[in-house]
Amino acid sequence: MDRSTPHPQTPTVATASVLPEGASTVGLSAWADIDLGAISANVAELSRRAGDADVMAVIKGDAYGHGLVPVAHAAVAGGATYLAVAQLTEALAARAAGVTAPILTWLFPPGADLAAALRADLTLSAGAPWALAEIAAAARTTGSPARIHLKVDTGLGRGGAWREDLAAMLVDAARLQAEGVLDVEGIFSHFAYADAPGHPSVRAQQEVFAAVLADAERAGLRPRIRHLANSAALLTNPSSHYDMVRPGVSIYGLSPVPDIGGPTHFGLREAMRVTARLISVKDCPAGQGISYAHLYTTTQDTRLGLVPLGYADGIPRHASNLGPMQVHGRRYTVAGRVCMDQMVLDLGADSPARAGDEVVLIGREADGEPTAQDWAAAIGTINYEIVTRLGPRVPRRYPEGA
Ligand SMILES: *Cc1c(COP(=O)(O)O)cnc(C)c1O
C-alpha cells in the first residue's frame, strides 16, 4: 500500500432510513418523527437570545440522531449562518447532499485528505501543530487559501492547542496567512463546565480565551469569528457569546441545563418524537418473572405488552426497570430487562391496550409525555446520549407541519 496516499474520506454517515412524506406508520414496529419546523424555530429563538452573535448550528452525530441533511437545511432556514460537525466525513456527507452553508469540522486524523476537504469548501479546525502544517500543505496543492478556525484549549483539557504549541501556531498561522496560504477566519474554544454556570472554571476559561485573543493580535492575527459558547453557555452566560454561538443540543429542543429549566423554560420545543407499536398484549398471572433474569415479578394478575425496541436501537440496557413509556395516556416503566430488540410493559389488568397500539417513548414535556430528559434522568445520563444513540433500525419521518 502506498502510505503517502490519504485514505479516501467517504462522504457518508450512518443514518436511519427515511420514510416518504405522509407515509403510513401501520405495520411499523417503531418510528421517529422529526419536527423540522421545531428545529428552525429553536434556532430562531436561540439566535434571538444570542443577541448580536451569529449562530453556528452543531449537527454532528447525525444531527444528534435527528438526521444530518434535513437538520442542516432546517437550521439554515431558522437563521444559522454556519454549521459544524465533528468528523470530516460528516462535513463531506453534508456537502455531497447539497448543503451549501459554511461548515466547520474539528475532528480528523493526520493523513486525512484535506485537499478534498478544501475543494469541498469546508472550514478546517487547527488544534495542533501537525494539523496546521497539513492544512497548509493541502492549501498549497489546491492553490487557494484554506479557511481555518484555530482551536484553543482554554482549560477543558480535551482537544485544542495550548502553551508552547499554541504560541508557535499563532506565529505560524500569521505567517501562512501573510503568504496567502491560510485565511484564519476564526478562533474558538470549549467549556468544561458550561452546564454549571457559577463554576469557577467558566470564568477562568473566559479569562484565558481573552488572553489568547490578545496573544493572537500581537502575533498579527485578528480572526473575524471568535466563538466559545455551546448551548449551556448561550442560554446562561451572555458574556461568552462573542461573535458566534455554537449550540447543539438546544437546537433539538432539549435543555442543556435541566436543573435550571426544561425546553419550555427556554422557549424551545423538542423536535424528536419516538413511537413504537405493541407487538402483543397477553394475560399474565401474579408472581411471574419478566424478561431475562426475571429482574421484575408481577404482583397481581395483569396484562403484558411487548415493545419491539431494545439496546440494538439505542434503548439503554441500564434502563431495565427504569425507562418511562406511555400507552393510552398512562405512564409505565420498563418491566424487567431491556433486551437487544424487545422489552416488556406491565400494563395492568384494566388496560385497554391491544396489539398494534402506540407506545410513546419520547414525546413532549409540555404534553406531560415521557421525554429524552426523563430517560436520561432515570438512568443517570444526559439527554444528548438518549437521542444520539437512537439507532438506524428506527426509521425517521419528517412530517410537514409536525
Ligand atoms: C458538541 C459540541 C458543541 C455543542 O454542544 P451542546 O452542548 O450540544 O450545545 C459545541 N462545541 C463543541 C466543540 C462541541 O464538541
Q: Count CA within 13 A, CB hemisphere, residue 47.
A: 18
Mean pLDDT of the chain: 96
- Which atom of ligand 1 is found nearest the CA of 246? 10
How far away, in angstroms, is 111 Cα from ligand 1 center? Answer: 25
Q: Which pLDDT belongs to residue 7? A: 61
Are the CB atoms for 245 and 46 separated by under 8 Å? yes
Confidence of residue 22 (pLDDT cuts 50, 70, 90): confident
Q: Is the pLDDT of residue 2 over 70?
A: no
From the list 60, 82, 242, 332, the catalytic residue is: 60
Q: Which atom of ligand 1 is nearest to the CA of 247?
A: 9
Give the 3-state secondary structure of residue 9. Answer: coil
Ligand 1 centroid to 225 CA: how many Å?
Answer: 16
Q: Which residues line ligand 1 (CB under 6 A)?
A: 58, 60, 190, 230-232, 246-250, 256
Could you tell which of 45, 49, 58, 60 is best to mutate to test the pocket of ligand 1, judged by most ligand atoms within 8 Å of the CB? 58
Of 282, 292, 332, 398, which residue is the catalytic one?
292
Cell of 178: 501573510
pLDDT at 378: 98
Distance of CA 284 from the midpoint of ligand 1 (Å): 46
**Which single residue is written with the C-alpha cell 503568504?**
179
For residue 402, pLDDT over 60 is answered with no
CA of 58 to the centre of ligand 1 (A): 7
Told to judge if 292 belongs to the known catalytic residues of this protein, a careful annotator would answer: yes
42: pLDDT strictly greater than 60: yes
pLDDT at position 74 is 98
What's the pLDDT score for residue 329? 97
Helix (H, G, I), strand (E, B) or coil at 61: helix
Residue nearest to ligand 1 atom 15, measured at CA:
86
Residue with cell 433486551: 339
- Number of CB atoms found within 10 A of residue 329's CB: 8
Q: Residue range 31-48: average pLDDT?
A: 98
Closest atom, ligand 1, to C-alpha of 159: 13
Per-residue pLDDT at 1: 44
Atom of ligand 1 nearest to the CA of 231: 9
Higher pLDDT, 45 or 400: 45
Q: Give the pLDDT score at 400.
A: 81
The set of residues, in sequence order, having a beta carbon less than 8 Å from that of 169 and lying 6+ positions away, is 126, 129, 132, 150, 161
Q: Are 242 and 187 in contact (CB under 8 A)?
A: no
Q: What is the pLDDT of residue 21?
A: 83
What is the pLDDT at residue 363? 98
Mean local confidence (pLDDT), 90-119:
97
Q: What percent of the chain has pLDDT over 90?
A: 94
Mutate to test the pocket of ligand 1, among 190, 209, 251 (most ligand atoms within 8 A of CB): 190
**Centre of ligand 1 from the C-alpha of residue 247, in Å:** 6
- Give yes or no: 296 in active site: no
Question: Whose alpha carbon is nearest atom 13 of ligand 1?
Answer: 190
Nearest CA to ligand 1 atom 4: 248
Per-residue confidence (pLDDT) for residue 16, from 0 to 100: 79
Residue range 174-230, pLDDT digits in tens: 999 999 999 999 999 999 999 999 999 999 999 999 999 999 999 999 999 999 999
Tell me the average pLDDT across 66-88: 98
Task: Put the strands of the sheet holding 330-335 in their side by side order.
Answer: 280-284, 302-307, 343-346, 330-335, 324-327, 358-362, 272-277, 30-34, 396-397
Give the ligand 1 atom nearest the CA of 188.
13
Name the residue of 125, 202, 230 to mutate for ligand 1: max ligand atoms within 8 A of Cβ. 230
Residue 345's SS3 state is strand
283 by Cβ neighbours in 10 Å (0-12 / 13-18 / 19+) ranks as exposed
Decide if pLDDT at 264 tops 50.
yes
Q: pLDDT tens digits for 323-378?
A: 999 999 999 999 999 999 999 999 999 999 999 999 999 999 999 999 999 999 99
Instruction: Provide the pLDDT for residue 206.
Output: 98
CA of 307 to the centre of ligand 1 (A): 33
Give residue 321's pLDDT.
Answer: 98
Task: Give the nearest ligand 1 atom to 106 CA.
Answer: 13
Contact 397, 17 (CB under 8 A): no
What's the 261 CA to ligand 1 centre distance in angstroms? 19
Ligand 1, atom 1, lies closest to the CA of 248
For residues 288 and 335, give the distance between their C-alpha atoms in angstroms, rounded to a whole number. 11
**Alpha-carbon span 156 to 158, nearest angstrom:** 6
Q: How confident is the model at residue 4 (pLDDT cuts 50, 70, 90)?
A: low
Cα(81) to centroid(ligand 1), Å: 16
How far apart are alpha carbons 87 and 334 in whole angstroms? 35
